[in-house]
Structure 1
Amino acid sequence: MKNITYRDAIKEALREEMLKSEDVFIMGEDVGIFGGIFGVTAGLITEFGEQRVLDTPISEAAIAGAAVGAAMLGMRPVAEIMFIDFITTAMDQIVNQAAKWHYMSGGKLKVPLVIRTTTGTGRRAGAQHSQSLEVLLAHIPGLKVVMPSNPYDAKGLLKSSILDDNPVIFIEHKMLYNEKGLIPEQEYFVPLGQAEVKRAGKDVTIVATSLMVKRSLEAAEILEKEGIEAEIIDPRTIRPLDMDTILKSVEKTGRLIIVHEACTFCGFGAEIAAQVTERALYYLDAPIVRLGGWDVPVPFSPSLEDMVIPKVEEIVNSVRGLMGEKV
């Protein structure tokens, strides 16, 4: 095992798959000489050259469109879009093209495309660079949506995404890039659509995504000192979604809190809550709690930005409150 950052785990996944197949290439704004806005692709242009690490014009629509075309012709592009906010300018290429061609061609065409992008708050970048828009993409049949929360998952999930024959939106949190974790020296993969229990517990289930997994684990440490054992589940991929793991946990604990950074209204937590209600209602001992971002554009002010997304103490307090409630 070795201890590396989330950033370097992603770079290792890219490098390993590029070494294995010349069909894999990287494209995006400043991914080459500059090494990516967050340094993920630093040095890869030196090793693989400008033909496989392509600096593109500042046009997300062009990046996504070229990547879709390359994928349909048999390549496996990994396209970087700096911020998930900017995916909105490439929604036609992603939603109407990438997600549809396999279906519309009767299975004759595949679109093995990965779009890497970043999500979330923490860098004080304002309302147009700090959103969490994963649910917009998870809503679309034909797309897969991945949200790794640690270096091990980041590397294993990205390798699986590159080898998948479907378009995958791979969402990295800006505030996780410097987080370190242990990964194996040997090659490994993490399958898409398989959740993981990050911490076992018997009193309450907390389902969290991306950065909120880290905060939920911190909350669980505090709650343990109070005699409350929280089980933390990371879906890892929100499309496809492993509901079986979530339902199994809810059946054990009888309580469920869903934590994500995106706005609570119509957020991903609503889908989980709906499915648990439909499939495991009679196992619940208390109402389901959704803990998400406020229904406001993300503020630029550091103090206000911190206020509008779930914090560790809010997760702790939500669990404390839930433990005293009954359906």
Structure 2
Amino acid sequence: MNMIQALNSAMDVMMQRDDKVVIFGEDVGYFGGVFRATANLQKKYGKTRVFDTPIAEGGILGTAIGMGAYGLRPVVEVQFADYIYPAFDQLVSEAARLRHRSAGEFWAPLTVRSPCGGGIFGGQTHSQSPEGIFTHVCGLKTVMPSNPHDAKGLLIAAIEDDDPVIFFEPKRLYNGPFDGHHDRPLKSWAGHPSAEVPDGHYRIELGKASIVRPGQDVTVLCYGTMVHVCLAAAEESGVDAEVIDLRTLLPVDIDAIEASVRRTGRCVIVHEATRTGGYGAELSAIVQEHCFWHLQAPITRVTGWDTPYPHALEWEYFPGPARVVAALKSAMEAA
């Protein structure tokens, strides 16, 4: 499966298993979603379980919170991550706090799916990576998969979770893996190990990272599209880099980070979002707090630039293998 098919399979599996699962959002019903992730689900399960909404993200999320409190498990699609801001208050002030403010009487078992990141020439309002904003919010969980196998297992775990989960899907990875050099995937997911996706139910625990490339010299922390960029850079650099796909950003797998950096003594952090206030700053703080006495080089971040999303120059904006290679070599040259 490619990632779109894997996500569709996850929702299909959960709708079969649990009649409390409902799917709604912008164009997810008859059309099957702008990227076709919900294709054929309305035809299979009917218009009362898979339905379209107005373009009103605050209303979509407010409705989902009420449904969750009532006992349903809503899975909503916000068509692009850039569109999620009108619903931010519902997520922060209501969904994230509901369990605590009601002393456990109510909760919000909802999943918010949203395509994120650039690479499709979508311009400033279709290309942002806002994950760092949501990792700041206590009570929300934030997930970003890098491959079809993980996408299905993580989405199933998110839907089964009793708390709200923000599930970001990198658009550049929908149809195939990426190295960051090109304006299209290098190839389809066909033949890629992580495209072997079981048809039935399986889950990947939220909060558990994956070591996608073992190594001894430097730890690379990344997620989403940047996993593929970092794998390409590690091969190109000749550095024995250990590449960790975080998969879940909140809660993050501190144990996996600490074990790796304590062993390698070096750390490079890579993400597509802008640098200042980005999630890499939190990762850097975690590494410093847990591994300071083991570090042999400064922690390095490779990120998007601090600029509004540059539509015409988006391929200059993305961290590519060349920038990651330079960071790996710099880490190895440090005393």
Same-fold status (TM-score > 0.5): yes
Deviation sequence 1:133-190 (CA, Å, 0-9, x none): 0011110000000000100110000000000000000000011110221123443110
Corresponding pairs, count? 318
Deviation sequence 1:89-135 (CA, Å, 0-9, x none): 11111110100110000011111000000110101111121111001
Q: Secondary structure at the match of 1:183?
A: coil
1:177 corresponds to: 174
Q: Of 19, 33, 36, which residue of structure 2 is paired with 1:36?
A: 33
| Match runs of 1:152-191 below 5 Å | 152-179=149-176, 180=189, 181-191=195-205
Q: Which runs of 4+ in 1 moved over 3 A?
A: none
Letter in 2 for 1:132: S
Q: Of 132, 137, 141, which residue of structure 1 is paired with 2:134?
A: 137
- Give the TM-score of the pair, scaled to structure 1: 0.96
Q: Secondary structure at the match of 2:127?
A: coil
Letter in 2 for 1:294: W
2:334 corresponds to: 325
Q: Of 287, 296, 301, which residue of structure 2 is paired with 1:290?
A: 301
CA contact (8 A) 2:13 2:200 kept: no
| Match runs of 1:84-99 below 5 Å | 84-99=81-96
1:79 corresponds to: 76
Say if 2:291 is the partner of 1:275.
no
Letter in 2 for 1:30: D
Unaligned runs of 5+ in 2: 177-188, 190-194
User: Quick one: distance in 2 between partners of 1:209 and 1:127?
Assistant: 22
Say if 2:244 is the partner of 1:236.
no
| Match runs of 1:1-327 below 5 Å | 4-179=1-176, 180=189, 181-223=195-237, 226=238, 228-301=239-312, 304-326=313-335
User: Quick one: distance in 1 between partners of 2:61 and 2:95?
Assistant: 9
Q: Secondary structure at the match of 2:216?
A: coil
Q: Secondary structure at the match of 2:115?
A: strand
1:319, distance to aligned residue in structure 2 (A): 0.6
Q: Secondary structure at the match of 2:83?
A: helix
Letter in 2 for 1:239: L
User: Quick one: distance in 1 between partners of 2:233 and 2:129?
Assistant: 22
Letter in 1 for 2:94: Q
Letter in 2 for 1:311: G
Q: Secondary structure at the match of 1:262?
A: strand
Letter in 2 for 1:154: A
User: Quick one: distance in 2 between partners of 1:48 and 1:221?
Assistant: 45
Letter in 2 for 1:236: R
CA contact (8 A) 2:75 2:110 kept: yes
Unaligned runs of 5+ in 1: none
User: Quick one: distance in 1 between partners of 2:199 and 2:26?
Assistant: 31
Deviation sequence 1:25-55 (CA, Å, 0-9, x none): 1000100111101010111111011111110
User: Quick one: distance in 2 between partners of 1:175 and 1:272?
Assistant: 23
Q: Secondary structure at the match of 2:196?
A: strand
Q: Secondary structure at the match of 1:116?
A: strand
Letter in 2 for 1:167: P
User: Quick one: distance in 2 between partners of 1:240 and 1:320?
Assistant: 30
CA contact (8 A) 2:9 2:199 kept: no
User: Quick one: distance in 2 between partners of 1:313 and 1:53?
Assistant: 44
User: Quick one: distance in 2 between partners of 1:178 and 1:242?
Assistant: 27
1:191, distance to aligned residue in structure 2 (A): 0.3
Q: Secondary structure at the match of 1:90?
A: helix
